[in-house]
Amino acid sequence: MTTVKGLVFDAYGTLFDVHSVIAACQQVAPDAPALSETWRAKQLEYTWLRSLMGQYEDFWAITAAALRFALRRHGITLDAAQYTRLLEEYYRLSTYPEVLTALQRLRPYPLAILSNGTPRMLHAALEHNNLQGVFTQVLSVDPLRTFKPNPVVYELAPRHLQLPKQALVFVSSNAFDVIGAKAYGFQVVWINRANVQLDELGWQPDVVVPRLDQLPHALHL
């Protein structure tokens, strides 16, 4: 990897544990992990479908639609108040345990978030986890009305950080995001927590680690 001048982080699944909603799912579902898995899978699928169709809805609307699908798939009926409480867990996602330690080690560098999430969703999660002020930029796809892995999304980071893309390290736990960022031209770290196989699309991350707190050592920072 070349000289690192800044780091750009995906949010959901990388900093924030999307399956921290399982505790709330347990109140309404006999198989809470399965409900959470379906919810997340459809959330991502809907971003890709809407991008391809040119029919943008923001990530909050997509998250809501994915939850409706997941509830129907698992045969769960909620009243309006229960549904809203469960949906709003996305404002209160927990970070992974090692996130704060990793970010503290990396603070000498400009740090940014680049996410499909809406600004409100991102700032709510940051506030919930006492991470306000840690990031130089919190960048949402909203102004572009498309989602990752569209290369125009990745272009937001060098533009706002005023650094060349080759000097930025993009960090994600999502394989599609890793591939998209590498195809765009970032240096890329894959946080492969579940030790899953990378898709065969022709791009590879520069570094693979299982946890964010191994990132500073892996990058010699």
Active-site residues, by number, are 10
Q: Which residues contact 108 (CB under 8 A, 6 or more apart)?
A: none
Helices (H), the chain: 22-25, 32-53, 59-73, 80-87, 99-106, 119-128, 151-154, 156-161, 175-184, 215-218
* CA quadruple 6, 136, 190, 40: dihedral, nearest 10: -160
Q: Rounded to whole angstroms, how far apart are CA atoms 200 and 20?
A: 29
Q: Which residues contact 181 (CB under 8 A, 6 or more apart)?
A: 149, 154, 170, 172, 188
SS3 95: strand
Q: Which residues contact 50 (CB under 8 A, 6 or more apart)?
A: 56, 57, 62, 147
Q: Which helix (H) or strand (E) holds 172?
A: strand 168-172
Q: Which helix (H) or strand (E) holds 209?
A: strand 207-209
Q: Token pair for residue 53?
A: 């169709």
